Amino acid sequence: MHLPRPIPLAAALAAALSSCAFANDSPTMLMPRVDVIGTANRLPDLAGTGQIIDSKELEGSRVFTVNEALRRVTGVNVRDEEGFGLRPNIGIRGLNPTRSTKVTLLEDGVPLAYAPYGDNASYYHPMVDRYERIEVLKGPGSLLFGPQTVGGTVNYITPAPPQEVGGYVQGALGNRDYANAKFNIGGHGLLLDYTRKQGNGSRDNMEHELDDLNVKYVMNLTRDQVLTLRGNYYTENSTVTYSGLTQAEFDRFGARYNPFKNDRFDIRRHGFSATHAIAVTEKAVLTTNLYYSHFDRDWWRQSSNSTDTQCGTGFRDSRLAGIAVDPDNCNSIQGRLREYDTWGIEPRLTVEHQ
C-alpha cells in the first residue's frame, strides 16, 4: 500500500491550504474541493471563529441526524421538526433558525439550497450518513463563501474516493419501523455510495422514505491539473402535515396525535458538479466549481395551522374542542408546489504569501 506519487499540484494545494485530503486507512486520490476552514491548524488565523467535526467525532458520537451533529458546535442552535433531520432549522449567534435561511449550506463548497440567491429555505437536506466531516465558520470570513452568510457557513465534506478497490454494506433497525441500509464501494478514483432510510416520524401518520445515491470520480488530467466529477440523486416520499395540535387535542389524544393522514411531501432532486484545480505556480492554485441541480417539491396538505377554516368552521371547532376529526370528510386541499433549476460557476484563486 502506498500513497500517490507527489505531483506539483499536490504540493501547491498543500501550500495553499486547499483540499489535498487522504483517508486514514487507505490511500485516496487527490480531490480538489473548496474548504471553508481546511485543517485544524488554520483555526487561530480565521477571520472569525470556526469549529470542525471530524470523521472520528461523527462516528464515535453515533449521530442520528445532522441536527445532533451541529449541536456540538458552540453558538449554533438547531431546532428539530419531524425527528429525521430532513429539514433542519439552523440558527447561528441567536438568529432565527427557521429553515436555515440566515446560513449558507455547502457540500464540498457547492451550494446545497435550491435557490441560494433567492429562496434560501432548506426544504432539502442530505442525510448525515453522506458526510465524513463538517466545517462551521462564523464571522466575517463567511463572506467568501456565499450570499446568505449573516449567520455563518456550514460546509459538509464528503469522503474522497479510494485508490484501492473496497467497500462495505451496513444496516440498522430500530423502533417506529426505522430501517437504514448503506452500500459503499470504490476504487481507482471512483466512489459509489447509496443510502436507504425509512421510518415513522415523531407523530402519527408521519412516515418517511428516503433514497440517496451519490457518485464521485477523481482524475488527474496532467501533472498540474485534477478534476472531480460528482453526481447525486435524492428522493423523499413522506407524509408530513403542517398543522400542529390544539390544547384540547394534546390533552385528550397526546403529543403524537395527527389526523391528517392524506398530507404528502414528495421531493425529487438531482445534481451534478465538476471541480477543476490547476496549479498556476507552486504557491497559487485556481479552483473552479461548475454546478447544476434540479429540485422538484410537491407538498399537498389539508390544513395550514390548527385553527384555520379551510375544511369549514365545524372542522375547526371540533379540533378546538378536542373531538377526533376525519380528513376524508374534508375535500379541500392546498398544494405548495415548487420547482427550481440552479446552476453556477465559481472560480477561486488561492495564493500563499507572507
Tell the burial category of 305 from Cβ atoms under 10 Å away from its Cβ (0-12, 13-18, 19+): exposed
Specify the CATH architecture of the domain 160-354: Beta Barrel (2.40)
pLDDT for position 310: 80
Nearest to 193 by CA among 238, 135, 136, 126: 126
Cα separation, 125 vs 85, in Å, equals 8
DSSP state of 311: T
Nearest to 164 by CA among 178, 185, 147, 194: 185
pLDDT for position 230: 97
How far lies 172's CA from each of 80, 87, 116, 198, in Å? 22, 22, 34, 11
pLDDT for position 255: 93
Q: Where in the chain is the domain with CATH 2.40.170.20?
A: 160-354
How far lies 295's CA from each of 50, 192, 234, in Å? 30, 22, 10
Q: Where in the chain is the domain with CATH 2.170.130.10?
A: 32-159
At position 296, the amino acid (one-letter code) is D
Torsion of CA 247, 248, 250, 256, to 10 degrees: -120
Q: Can you identify the CATH homologous superfamily of domain 32-159?
A: TonB-dependent receptor, plug domain (2.170.130.10)
Instruction: Kindly list the averaged pLDDT for each block of 10 residues, start to end, along the chain of length 354.
Output: 38 42 45 88 90 94 94 94 89 92 94 90 92 95 91 95 94 94 96 96 92 96 93 96 91 94 94 96 94 96 79 88 89 88 95 88
pLDDT for position 36: 92
pLDDT for position 39: 87
pLDDT for position 29: 54
pLDDT for position 30: 65
How many Cβ atoms are within 10 Å of 166's Cβ, its own excluded?
A: 12
Q: Where are the alpha helices (DSSP H) in the chain?
A: 8-15, 55-61, 66-70, 247-253, 313-321
pLDDT for position 231: 97
Size (the chain), residues: 354
DSSP state of 140: G
pLDDT for position 17: 35
Q: What is the pTM for the complete model shown?
A: 0.88
